[in-house]
Structure 1
Amino acid sequence: MFKKKDQTKKIMQDPISNEQIRIIRTNLESISEGKSAIFMVTSTSEDGEKSIISSKLAISFVEQGKSVLLVDANIRNPSLHHWFQMQNQSGFTNVIVNEDEIKLHIRETYVPGLFILPTGPIPLNSSEIWVTNKIIELVRNCESEFDVVIFEAAPYLTAADSQVLASQCDGVILVIKENKTKKEELLKTKENLERTNNKIFGVIYQTG
């Protein structure tokens, strides 16, 4: 198992461009204007490496003195708990389905100022989760406690999950993968987001 400092180093030294991360962070800071920033990281139809991108963005904000909550809302393919070496026994789904207090399931990480809300157990009926008023309540609770809240979501075109969540966020970070993301899927995602008045705050382009 990695030592804590080694795991942070592993995340931050991943070949995904640190410059892209810094540019997006700067854009988000200018948009939030002192209030909590709530945004979602998604892709078109491939999961790609969203978890490492979400983690790097979160750590980047923490390095600027922000308190950050990283939420794994990708119930179809949860992975953030692996990066931060924690169990996925409870989390996001407990807060939504059981209406638990969010603080019962938030986990501290080895990065001071960064907290994780893992996915938690997946219910047999996922429609129990994506109920607008429940998502709204979750977002309100998150933004009252943290400067920045990052939701990692399922690929936008493959699940309605991301579309429900996007409508409650300030904007979206879109991840595209070289030689994998199809142009028509990218355009469709962009059109859908714009049609529902969801802002695209930035794009991360993954090579290799």
Structure 2
Amino acid sequence: MIRTNLEPLVHQQTALLLVTSPSDDGEKSIITSKLALSIVEQGKKVLLVDGNIRKPSLNHWFKLPNEAGLTNVIDNVNEAFLNIQETFVPGLFVLPTGPMPVNPADVWMTGKINELVRYCEANFDVIIFEGPPFLTVSDSHILANQCDGVILVIKENKTKKKDVIKTKEYLERKNNQILGVIYQTG
């Protein structure tokens, strides 16, 4: 259903999506990975970028090393092709976080992110960033500004209503498009 709702966006030149949550409650990595897989099934070339530098997880799901990745690419965008890893699924690629920088906020300098996005747009049909919890750090705020839309993941009986409202209000204030909400039960 999520893939169907995203179909008009996915069929544009290059779609950039952010998957995040208001707080650290849900299983964003599983949802992000399944979303990417469903888009690959449509014949699209997809890049998953693990933007959760403080708690990387996409490399675990795809059994990929995390010695190099996003943090290295930000230092030298020309090396992006060296750090993007092909998964066991044809058409699906992952850019893991790479080593934890001394100051994680330095990774999110807008100019460097813009360069990375331009490089990725030239090489992939869909780019999905998995961001850290929206209300915890500013990383997802910066990523949201680079993306065509945001998908929020909320967890039943865990995510607080006030956090969802606060996240929604911030995104709307910055004119970030909320593409949908994934409500996890159980």
Is TM > 0.5 for Structure 1 vs Structure 2?
yes
Query: Secondary structure in 2 aligned to 1:134?
Result: helix
Length-normalised TM-score, structure 2: 0.97
Query: Secondary structure in 2 aligned to 1:181?
Result: coil
Give the corresponding residue for 1:203.
181
Asked if 1:73 corresponds to 2:67, the answer is: no
**For residues 133-160 of structure 1, what are the alpha-carbon distances to aligned partners after superposition, in whole Å with 9 as ceiling and x for unaligned?**
1111111111110000000000000000
Please state how far the C-alpha of 1:121 moved relative to its aligned partner: 0.4
- Cα RMSD (Å): 1.1
2:34 counterpart (49, 56, 67): 56
Amino acid at match of 1:170: D
Give the corresponding residue for 1:5.
none
Give the corresponding residue for 2:130.
152
Q: Calculate percent identity across the aligned residue pairs.
A: 66
CA distance in 2: counterparts of 1:150 and 1:32, whole angstroms: 11
Q: Paired residues, what number?
A: 186
Length-normalised TM-score, structure 1: 0.87
Please state how far the C-alpha of 1:26 moved relative to its aligned partner: 1.9
Shifted more, 57-66 versus 96-105: the winner is: 96-105
Gaps of 5+ in 2: none
Measured at CA, do residues 68 and 99 of structure 1 come closer, stay the same or move farther in structure 2, by a change above 3 Å?
Answer: closer
Give the corresponding residue for 1:3.
none
- Asked if 1 retains the 8 angstrom alpha-carbon contact of 2:154 and 2:183, the reply is yes
CA distance in 2: counterparts of 1:104 and 1:179, whole angstroms: 42
Shifted more, 150-159 versus 124-133: the winner is: 124-133
Query: Secondary structure in 2 aligned to 1:175?
Result: strand
CA distance in 1: counterparts of 2:105 and 2:9, whole angstroms: 32
CA distance in 1: counterparts of 2:181 and 2:3, whole angstroms: 11
2:160 counterpart (173, 182, 205): 182
Which 4+ residue blocks in structure 1 deviate beyond 3 angstroms? Answer: none
CA distance in 2: counterparts of 1:149 and 1:41, whole angstroms: 11
